[in-house]
Structure 1
Amino acid sequence: MNEKTQQELIEFVSGAAEQLGVPGVAVGVLADGREGFACHGVTSIVNPLPVDADTMFVVGSVSKTFTATALMRLVAHGRVELDAPVRRYVPEFATADEITVLQLLNHTAGLEWKLGVDPGEGDDALARHAAELAATPLIAEPGGRASYSQAGFNLAGRIVENVTGLTFEQAVSSLLFEPIGLAHSCYAVNDVMTRRFAVGHNADADGKLTVARQWKDNRSNNPGGGVATSVSDLLRWARFHLGDGRAESGEHLLPSEELHRMRNQTVELRGTTLGDAFGICWFLRDIDGVATIGHGGSGNGQFADLLLVPEHDFAVTVVSNAGPDAGLAFNRAVVTWALEHYLGVVERDPEPLPYDQARAAEIVGHYENEMMRLTLDSDGTGLTIACAIKPEFRAATDTELPPDLPPATLGLLPGDTGDYIVTDGGLVGQRGFFTRDQDGVVTGIDLAGRLFART
């Protein structure tokens, strides 16, 4: 990356952060074998420190890529079989349903998105989570369809614990963080507090940014979303996945065929911005004729994106500490700009159809999962979608939760499949689809890869 290209990256990142009002951001790009970084703003509006490439952010579901890769190391050593039932490795997951390890890693296990129960911060957190999950009804037949599940990845973390005899956090550190040299990556708050880290920010009722007081989720959500890391580490992580399974030290952590197996399609996805298919954890997406693999993540007022283009040995990673409108919009703008600027790859959203009152009448209403409610409404001229945490769930917890998303415009896409796209607000660009029963009645909606049942 030459000096001119580096300066263009810095200018774009700073301009976008200022325009969208994000307090602090960090971006890393790997192109032509060289790394470039652009950082802007501060870690917190209350206690500000400049953000740099080693500043740690909570990267949410990008954490799943670490959990899946740790499991693949155990697969490569013959200690775990992907087609084996989960209960072989997690006896406390006592359920009659035959769910396999692979179904956890490609979100086809039929498990609920997330559990609202906090099992505490002890070393038994994942064991208690697994037992609770076993008693939770499935939302789909195992292997029947993909529906993104945080709970499923937390259960995968329990496999890592039981097979290695270590806590999940110790196991991932030993299997990945230490040998790859990810010096700015960890799970425990106490390990973060001695380093520079960013806090999340959310807008209050007046639109003013305030510091998010819950920094990260509880311990049982570490496998699905608990990593705190930096863009410098994320770019090193990208280099590992673009390589042959060796760490920079030369240590062979994974056979290249097992590493690259994670990029192979295991289940097709429909109508989602996240990807065209799942590999093993990775979202696989064709953008302008180019194959990409990636994963995004969200926390309380923090957002992260990691995208790799293997055929070009290219990667971009973005972290930001405002949400949801500003942070999501910033991350998407940077990824879109980087693909076009470095590779000439242009991402284009499909155009929605004009408003159709008859089609709108079929889909308006409420849709829910364990923790969240979507409301689709129509004023006779257009459709809107609002996303909220269930009031009863907010009332039952003392934990600070992210704000609800106000109604945003939704447009239906051509064809009779029921696909849609959100055209403004914090979810702008998000695509999904409606599920119908055998009589053609709408029974659910998919948003961000998650199934919400109609109520």
Structure 2
Amino acid sequence: MGIDEERLEAAWRLLDSEVEQGRIPGGTVLVLRRGMTAAHAAGYSLIDGETRISATADTVYDCASLTKVVVTLPLVLQLIEQGMLALGDRVSAYFPAFSANGKGEVTVRQLLTHTSGMAAYRDFYSHGLAPDEIMAAICADPLVCEPGTKVVYSCLGYIVLGRLVSQLLGMSLDRAAENLIFRPLGMTSSCFNPPESWKPHIAATEYDPALGTFRWGRVHDENAYALGGVSGNAGLFSTAADLARCAAVWLDRGGFLISRAAVEAALRNDTIHLAGAARGLGWVLHGDPRDASGDLLSARSYGHTGFTGTSLCIDPARDLAVILLTNKVHFGRGRSIAGFAARVHNAIAASLTD
């Protein structure tokens, strides 16, 4: 792998320390390099009174916004490759109601790069709306800024993208993910709405007073849950090993699942005209304010994080991918995983011998 094992232990110790200091209940770090992997797990997937379930390298996590780059982005790219969609297409061409309140010129590219001007989030889930009603509410929602003028990280935009994928493919998003991503890549521990039989292997997330227990095996994101657990912004459950299979596609610069041309298009800085921003299609590029790659990975690195405490970082210059999965929100909502992920990435980068 070209990794100094003693130095790599520093990354493992960071995870152990985060657990010991009570910042996270548990987690897994997986390193993928040159087709080989090394992984370390620590802590617990569930802490409920006296009940403790140990986290393992095979624990299934609620990946939250990693759904955007693991599921939604590849499916959109596949549609573009097949000529069924284009980045410059107006979203209103597919959803006429979307043109309301100044959104008529918003493009697919702008949804992917979070430059649509749409709001970051709305609590549509709290109004008891059905999935079609939530989509109608998003279509009617006003912009918070002019399209193309600012990066506003928008879960709403990816909900729309998920619906667009489903409409064009003529199948639900979860079925599309299974048929076109999970099965081809051998991601056997990935799905939306995991079955009850998976529950002992799933990391629980936040305590839900309405349930009187933890959210365990059901998506943490409230809007995604209101959408039936299947959404373009969140809902993916997966393991570190499965996500490594996805990361390998990007490290190989495509050629399988998505084309090399699509990978190159996704990794161009589409927000270079916006001061301080570095956004590709879906991905957060090196130097963006949300960049969690740390200080020692190359300027070609890119990645994404998830609210539940997840991170995926890829550095093609070093043939390296790092997957960090935790159930941070098991202890409640608080700071982002980005700072901790950056420190893990620094330790792993320092362990590389070439």
Following the alignment from structure 1 to structure 2, what is the Cα–Cα distance between the partners of residues 192 and 224? 25
Q: Which residue of 2 aligns with 1:258?
A: 262
Kindly provide the amino acid, as one letter, of the partner of residue 101 in structure 1: V
Following the alignment from structure 2 to structure 1, what is the Cα–Cα distance between the partners of residues 59 and 53? 10
- Structure 1: segments with no counterpart, 5+ residues: 205-209, 247-251, 346-455
Q: Which residue of 2 aligns with 1:282?
A: 283
- 1:138 and 2:143 correspond: yes
Structure 1 position 261, deviation (Å): 1.5
Note the alpha carbon deviations across 1:317-354, whole angstroms, 9 max, x for none: 11212347898576633432333443479xxxxxxxxx
- 1:18 and 2:20 correspond: yes
- The size of the alignment, in residue pairs, is 326
Note the alpha carbon deviations across 1:116-164, whole angstroms, 9 max, x for none: 1139999x72x43332112111111222222111000000011101100
Query: TM-score of the superposition, structure 1-length normalised?
Result: 0.64
Q: Which residue of 1 aligns with 2:292?
A: none
Structure 1 position 312, deviation (Å): 0.7
Following the alignment from structure 1 to structure 2, what is the Cα–Cα distance between the partners of residues 292 and 26? 21
Following the alignment from structure 1 to structure 2, what is the Cα–Cα distance between the partners of residues 120 and 168? 23
Structure 1 position 174, deviation (Å): 1.4
RMSD, aligned α-carbons: 3.1
**Cα distance change on mapping 1:159 and 1:315 into 2, 3 Å:** same
Following the alignment from structure 2 to structure 1, what is the Cα–Cα distance between the partners of residues 36 and 68? 26
Counterpart of 1:316 (choices 307, 319, 322) is 322
Following the alignment from structure 1 to structure 2, what is the Cα–Cα distance between the partners of residues 27 and 341? 10
The SS at the match of 1:224 is: coil
Following the alignment from structure 2 to structure 1, what is the Cα–Cα distance between the partners of residues 126 and 178? 22
Kindly provide the amino acid, as one letter, of the partner of residue 113 in structure 2: N
Q: Which residue of 2 aligns with 1:176?
A: 181
Q: Which residue of 1 aligns with 2:37?
A: 35
**Cα distance change on mapping 1:170 and 1:92 into 2, 3 Å:** farther
Matches within 5 A, 1:34-53: 34-46=36-48, 47-53=51-57
Q: Comparing both structures, which one devotes a greater share of its residues to strand?
A: 1
Following the alignment from structure 1 to structure 2, what is the Cα–Cα distance between the partners of residues 162 and 326? 34
Following the alignment from structure 2 to structure 1, what is the Cα–Cα distance between the partners of residues 149 and 345? 36
**Cα distance change on mapping 1:174 and 1:38 into 2, 3 Å:** same
Q: Comparing both structures, which one devotes a greater share of its residues to helix?
A: 2
Following the alignment from structure 1 to structure 2, what is the Cα–Cα distance between the partners of residues 161 and 92? 17
The SS at the match of 1:10 is: helix
Structure 1 position 39, deviation (Å): 0.3
**Cα distance change on mapping 1:15 and 1:145 into 2, 3 Å:** closer
Kindly provide the amino acid, as one letter, of the partner of residue 319 in structure 1: L
The SS at the match of 1:222 is: coil
**Cα distance change on mapping 1:82 and 1:121 into 2, 3 Å:** farther
Note the alpha carbon deviations across 1:34-90, whole angstroms, 9 max, x for none: 211110111111243221122111111111102011110111111111101112223
Which deviates more, 85-94 or 230-239? 85-94
Contact 1:119–1:128 (CA under 8 A) maintained in structure 2: no
- 1:306 and 2:308 correspond: no
Matches within 5 A, 1:8-407: 8-46=10-48, 47-65=51-69, 66-95=71-100, 97-118=104-125, 125=131, 127-190=132-195, 193-194=198-199, 196-201=201-206, 211=214, 215-217=219-221, 218-220=225-227, 222-246=231-255, 252-268=256-272, 270=275, 276-286=277-287, 287=295, 290-298=299-307, 302-323=308-329, 328=335, 332-343=339-350
Kindly provide the amino acid, as one letter, of the partner of residue 57 in structure 1: Y
**Cα distance change on mapping 1:309 and 1:328 into 2, 3 Å:** farther
**Cα distance change on mapping 1:29 and 1:192 into 2, 3 Å:** farther
Kindly provide the amino acid, as one letter, of the partner of residue 324 in structure 2: V
Following the alignment from structure 2 to structure 1, what is the Cα–Cα distance between the partners of residues 63 and 73? 15
Following the alignment from structure 1 to structure 2, what is the Cα–Cα distance between the partners of residues 73 and 215? 26
Contact 2:8–2:351 (CA under 8 A) maintained in structure 1: no
The SS at the match of 1:128 is: helix
Structure 1 position 282, deviation (Å): 0.3
Following the alignment from structure 1 to structure 2, what is the Cα–Cα distance between the partners of residues 329 and 133? 26
The SS at the match of 1:39 is: strand
Following the alignment from structure 1 to structure 2, what is the Cα–Cα distance between the partners of residues 319 and 116? 26
**Cα distance change on mapping 1:108 and 1:188 into 2, 3 Å:** same
**Cα distance change on mapping 1:88 and 1:203 into 2, 3 Å:** closer
Structure 1 position 202, deviation (Å): 6.6
Query: TM-score of the superposition, structure 2-length normalised?
Result: 0.81
Following the alignment from structure 1 to structure 2, what is the Cα–Cα distance between the partners of residues 70 and 120? 30
Could you say which structure has the larger radius of gyration? 1
Structure 1 position 211, deviation (Å): 4.4
Following the alignment from structure 1 to structure 2, what is the Cα–Cα distance between the partners of residues 149 and 16? 29
**Cα distance change on mapping 1:222 and 1:203 into 2, 3 Å:** closer
